[in-house]
Every structure is written in C-alpha cells, then in structure tokens.
Amino acid sequence: MPVGDVLADVNRNDRSIVALVMLAHGMVHTYELSIPIFVALWLHEYTVIDLGLTSIPVTTASLGLMVGLGFALFGLGALPGGVLVDRVGSKRLIVGCLLGMAGSFVLLAAAPNLVVVALALVLWGAAASVYHPAGLRLISTGVEARGTGFAYHGIAGNLGIGFGPFLTALLLLFFDWHVVAGVLAVPALVAAAFATRADFEEQAAVAAADGGDERGEHDETTGDKAGTGVSSLGEFVSQSKHLFAGGFALVFALVMFSGLYYRGVTTFLPDLLGSVIGIEPVPISSVLPAALVPGSDSATATPTLDVELYVYAGLLTIGVLGQYVGGKLTDRIRTERGLVVGFGALALVAVAFLPIASLGVGPLLAICALLGFFLFMVQPFYQATVAEYTPAGLRGLSYGFTYLGVFGVGALGGAIAGYVLAVADSTALFTVLAGFAAAATLLGVTLLRRRPTPA
C-alpha cells in the first residue's frame, strides 16, 4: 500500500514528514541489523587484521571490538547530533545521515581488508547516530498527530529490523558480500534524493499548539518557553542542567533500562532460540528449485537455513504491531501509564520466557510474539514522554540524551548478557532482564505519580 494511503488520516504536512522519517528510519535499522550477518562471513574469510606495524588475529573478540566501534558511535553520536539538530534543523541532518550511510556501504563494498571494513563501520555509526534525534525532533515539532507519527515511524523501523537482515541473508546466498554491500547502498541514495525534495514545515505542530508562536512549546517542568538550541559549551552545560532538573532525569533513567533490556535480550536470543528449538538447519534445496540452489551442480556443500534466525526475524517483525498499537495509544492515554503497562509486561515475559518456550514450538512462538510486541510497544511511549517533559527548542538535545541512554548506555546490555551467560545460565540472564524491566516499571510509576494533570 502506498505511504500516502497509509497516512490518509493525517494532514499534508504530517504526511510529508512521516513519509520521510519512515523511509530514513527503515534504512537506519536495515543497515544496523545487516552488519551482524556480515560478521559471520568475515570470521571465516579473514585470519588477521593487518595494522601495518603489527597484526591482530581475527577472533570473535577482536572482530567484535572492531564492529563495536561503529555501534558505539551509533549511540554516542546521538548527543552531539541532538545538539546540532537544534541549530541546523532536522531535514539537513537526515539527508546527511542517508548520504553518509550510503557512502559507508560503498566503502564497505570496496574494502580490500578488515582495516577498511572498520573505517566503513565507523563512518556508518557516525552517520546513523544523528538520525534518531533529528527524526524524532521532526515528529515532535512538525507533526500535529504526534502519536500517529511515532507509530508509523516505529513501524518503518521494525520493517527495517525484520526484513532488512532477511533480504540481506537471501542475497548472500547468491552473491559475494562485497556485491551485497554495494547493492544495499542504493536504497539510501534513493532515500537521500527523496529527502532533498521533501517539502514541509518543521515547526508546524509547535506553531499550532502556541497559536502561531513558533518560539517553542511550553515546558511543563519549568513553565519556561523553549529556546533555540545551544551554541556554546557553557550553554550546553546550562541547558543540560535545565533538562535534568525536572522530570526528564527520570525519563532518561527509564530509557537506559529500556536500552539494557533491548540489547541484552536481542544480542544472544538467536543462539538461545536454537538451543530451545533443538532442530537441525534446513537445506536450501528443500525449499528452492534445484536450478536456484547455489552449489547444486558442484561438489560444494548446499547452503542451509538456520531456522532460529527466521524465528528471530519474525519476533522482530511482530514489533510492527507493537509499535503501531503503542503509537496510537499515546494519543489516547497518559504516556506514563503506557510505560508502566509495557515494562511490567516485559518483566513478566522475561520471567515466563524459558518455562513457556520449553513446552514446545507452539508455546515458544507465542512467547516470542509477546516479547516482540511489548519490546517495541514501549518505544512510542518513551519517545512521546520525552516530548512532554522537554521544551521544543531543546527537543533535539533531549532526544540526543535519550538515544545516548538507549543505544550508548544500553549497549552495555549485550556485555552484561554475555557475562551472565558465561558465569551462569540462561535462567539467570532472563532474571536480570526482568530486573531491568522492573526498574523501568518503577520509574514509570514514579513519573505517573509526580506529573501534574495537564490543564
């Protein structure tokens, strides 16, 4: 269905903005989740990382550290990206993000060694890091149907998360990874061309809320009008103190626990699903005609489908429904209440996951569906909550801090999960995850009790 038809329930300016952020958000997560697929190939293709004066053996640790540089920038760059978007606007940064991601995958396609691969991933992380503060600021200040905008934005991200890696894996059955990386660069170039031609008013929602005054929204935590971003280190410090002096400090703590849960559960879940399902990989020859199967006419081994990866992709795709429901509900209920319900459900899912999954494939798929639904349902709620606890002129800075918490601090969730699995077992891991969700639930309850009812 065309994007214009999907967005028929919002006005023209809203449609233009939401179409752009849906496209860009889908691109960001397509690239994010395609990188781990390439990692498995690099482990077998390369033996050393040649640094010139010395070389480092390729292991999961060294390659993980190398790839981690790009993912670290993806989170850490959100804060300076948030500062920058308040100064130059969202559209410019989104165009730059798309061009940067396309360029990084062109470089990846041409990479002769792992050093250039690392440079390409660092470029990707730096380019992708500015998207979330830019895109979410654009929705919060430009889209009047804010909850609907967050919902469609999240859906597009989940489509990238679910279908991007799936399509990448399929392409790798037939083409070398260099070729696949080059092909993946094309959609971002097309999206950048679309973004440069997009026509909309970035402050439309703020102007409508303030009766035409585009200076900013009312800051419910202080009663002050929003500013226009920060232009110096001193102003950055003072405006950051201004943000954290109110309820945003609790929101920031909540999104950190959300990030820890998200990265902690997604990092090792494919391996855990494989051990729970307990079935062998399926040969490609059983699902494709012989003429289409690589190696079917030679002595090489026939590729196989790892079923747990497709269950994992399905779990992520279910998040589309969660994003939609969560986004729609932000327009109908207090966002704090949605956070309490969502994170409370995630805590229960973590506790029940292994006992239910061990009952068989049917129960496993059911608990995976619940995990995927609630894991992404909470995102529109905390995105909208950030908008309600921050002034419009500092919205980019606030979303920069938000995604520093989600992807920066949250990145520790993978390390914590790996450590727990190394010293204990999967039961301990899901207990820790339940603790993260419980902490976020308590923070949501605190916000719900402290926030005054809007006039």
CA atoms within 13 A on the CB side of 359: 11
What distance in Å separates the CA atoms of residue 192 and residue 94, rounded to the nearest whole number? 8
State yes or no: pLDDT of 400 exceeds 60: yes
Q: Average the pLDDT over 276-297 and give the result.
A: 57
Whole-number pLDDT of residue 138: 85
Instruction: Give the global pTM.
Output: 0.72
Whole-number pLDDT of residue 294: 56
Whole-number pLDDT of residue 227: 45
CA atoms within 13 A on the CB side of 142: 24
Whole-number pLDDT of residue 350: 94
Instruction: Give, in order, the Cα–Cα distances in Å from 142 to each of 21, 136, 248, 387, 401.
Output: 12, 10, 21, 12, 20
pLDDT tens-digit map of 237-259: 877 787 787 778 898 999 999 98
* Largest distance between two CA atoms of the chain: 74
State yes or no: pLDDT of 180 exceeds 70: yes
pLDDT tens-digit map of 37-48: 787 778 778 887
pLDDT tens-digit map of 192-235: 998 888 877 776 666 655 554 443 343 443 333 334 555 667 77
Total Cβ atoms within 10 A of residue 352: 16
Instruction: Give, in order, the Cα–Cα distances in Å from 400 to each of 85, 96, 254, 311, 404.
Output: 9, 17, 15, 32, 6
What distance in Å separates the CA atoms of residue 332 and residue 425, rounded to the nearest whole number? 41
Side chain identity, residue 163 = F
Total Cβ atoms within 10 A of residue 316: 26
Q: Band of the pLDDT at 81, cuts 50, 70, 90?
A: confident
Burial (CB count <10 Å: 0-12, 13-18, 19+), residue 351: middle
Whole-number pLDDT of residue 69: 78
Whole-number pLDDT of residue 221: 38
Q: What b-and-e string marks burial along 365-386, b requiring 16 or more CB atoms within 10 Å of the CB?
A: bebbbbbbbbbbbbbbbbbbbb
Most confident of 283-297, 352-366, 425-439: 425-439
Whole-number pLDDT of residue 225: 37
pLDDT tens-digit map of 115-166: 899 899 999 999 999 898 888 888 888 887 777 787 788 888 878 887 787 7
What distance in Å separates the CA atoms of residue 435 and residue 254, rounded to the nearest whole number? 12
Mean pLDDT of all residues belonging to the chain: 79
In DSSP terms, 56 is beta-bridged to 49
